[in-house]
Copies of this chain bind each other. A is one copy, B any other.
Amino acid sequence: MKQKLADYGTETLLGIHAFIPEKEPDQYLYGLLSDYPNRGGKGFRPGLCIASCKAFGGKLKEAKFSAVALEMLHNAFLIHDDVEDESFYRRKKPTMHEATSRAIAINVGDMFNALSLSPLWRNRDLLGEKLSQRIFLEIQHLITESAEGQALELGWRKDNRCDLTETDYLRMILKKTCWYTCIHPIRIGALIGSKGSVKPDDFNRLGYFMGAAFQIQDDVLNLVGEESAYGKEIGGDIMEGKRTLMLIHLLLHCSASERRFIKGFLKIPILDRNLAEAKTILELMHDYGSITYAKTTSKYLAGAALKEFYSHFSHLEESEDKAFLESIILYMINRDY
């Protein structure tokens, strides 16, 4: 599974480079565009898109431009997300705004967004007008949902919301993560592979369950993973006040005085927060079983994804790519932290 993901990732990375013009201004714009992609992400989105295309009978090259657009948009999101979250590290290196300036990073993200239209444009020659237009609308919906999810999360932080429920959380990550990480990559891949004959809404539940499991596992790893293995500052999410499932679970189960303490911590501007207090919150998450709860929830979600996968993929011929998609889900179910 990891090899296939890496192969599709490499293919996509080469594609991204081909869409980044070698021109001035280089130092504070074009030269920075390849920075995040070159740091080596998982390539999850292009992997899902390409595999879904191939599982439905398409070829890698038919999904390539769409995969490239998805990964370019992902990198644009990451750059803006890091500014918005005031994050210090991304994949073991300083975030773009830390290495340059906030202003420059915002502008680089804007350029990445604009450039991501180029591979979509190239889809016309590859897939014809009709299918390429459908994919274009998929992408516009993807961007819209992501911005809505981001707005929810940022609004919660701004208002220091400490009364959120699991339902709020799941709705937020549906918007912020699932659409762009799983639902649309699978939809787009299946549309291409089937030459437009699938009903893309059939994949929404699969992508939702998969994306939610993925996001929760990602958030758990931020708390308990090894810095060296994961490449993000440990507990960075707590320092940033991110409303994770663990934080929401903790707030729902801790004592009133503990809740006051957490609320006080979250009220302070990000950069003034105290690391020792963040560690106390992490300990509380352990004590109240919030991390175990999140791990379990993510595995249930991955299980639900597997059921959905069988519903919509089992009629397809066996193929390496179909097995690859299944193995991603199985990996999430069996994952050991």
Q: Cα distance A2–B285 when bound, in Å?
A: 62
Q: Which one of B84, B106, B114, B129 contacts A144 once the chains associate, using CB atoms below 8 Å?
A: B114
B-facing residues in A147-191 (Cβ within 8 Å): 147-148, 150-152, 154-155, 157-158
Q: Which one of B84, B108, B115, B121 contacts A107 once the chains associate, using CB atoms below 8 Å?
A: B84
In the complex, the count of this chain's copies comes to 2
CB closest chain-B residue, reference A27: B155
CB <8 Å contact, A158 and B100: yes
CB <8 Å contact, B80 and A28: no
CB <8 Å contact, B104 and A83: no
B-facing residues in A198-254 (Cβ within 8 Å): none
Is there a chain B Cβ closer than 8 Å to A128's Cβ?
A: no
Interface size bracket, A side: 35 or more
CB closest chain-B residue, reference A110: B147
Is there a chain B Cβ closer than 8 Å to A118's Cβ?
A: yes
Residues on B with beta carbons closer than 8 Å to the beta carbon of A143: 110-111, 114
Is there a chain B Cβ closer than 8 Å to A11's Cβ?
A: no
Residues on B with beta carbons closer than 8 Å to the beta carbon of A140: 114, 117-118, 121
CB <8 Å contact, B155 and A111: no
Is there a chain B Cβ closer than 8 Å to A256's Cβ?
A: no
Q: Cα distance A28–B175 when bound, in Å?
A: 15
Q: Which one of B106, B117, B151, B158 contacts A83 once the chains associate, using CB atoms below 8 Å?
A: B106
Q: Cα distance A178–B101 when bound, in Å?
A: 25
CB <8 Å contact, A107 and B151: yes
Residues on B with beta carbons closer than 8 Å to the beta carbon of A297: none
Residues on B with beta carbons closer than 8 Å to the beta carbon of A85: 103
Q: Which one of B102, B104, B158 contacts A28 once the chains associate, using CB atoms below 8 Å?
A: B158
CB <8 Å contact, A155 and B25: yes
Residues on B with beta carbons closer than 8 Å to the beta carbon of A27: 155
Is there a chain B Cβ closer than 8 Å to A34's Cβ?
A: no
Q: Cα distance A28–B147 when bound, in Å?
A: 10
Q: Cα distance A129–B130 when bound, in Å?
A: 11
CB <8 Å contact, B154 and A104: yes
Q: Cα distance A137–B122 when bound, in Å?
A: 12
Q: Cα distance A138–B115 when bound, in Å?
A: 13
- What are 15 contact pairs spanning A and B, CB under 8 A? A24-B148, A25-B148, A25-B152, A28-B151, A28-B154, A28-B158, A29-B148, A80-B106, A80-B110, A84-B102, A84-B107, A103-B154, A104-B154, A108-B151, A115-B144
A-side residues, CB < 8 A to B, are 24-25, 27-29, 80, 83-85, 100-104, 106-111, 113-115, 117-118, 121, 129, 137, 140, 143-144, 147-148, 150-152, 154-155, 157-158
What 3 pairs between A and B have smallest CB-CB spacing?
Answer: A84-B103, A29-B151, A28-B155
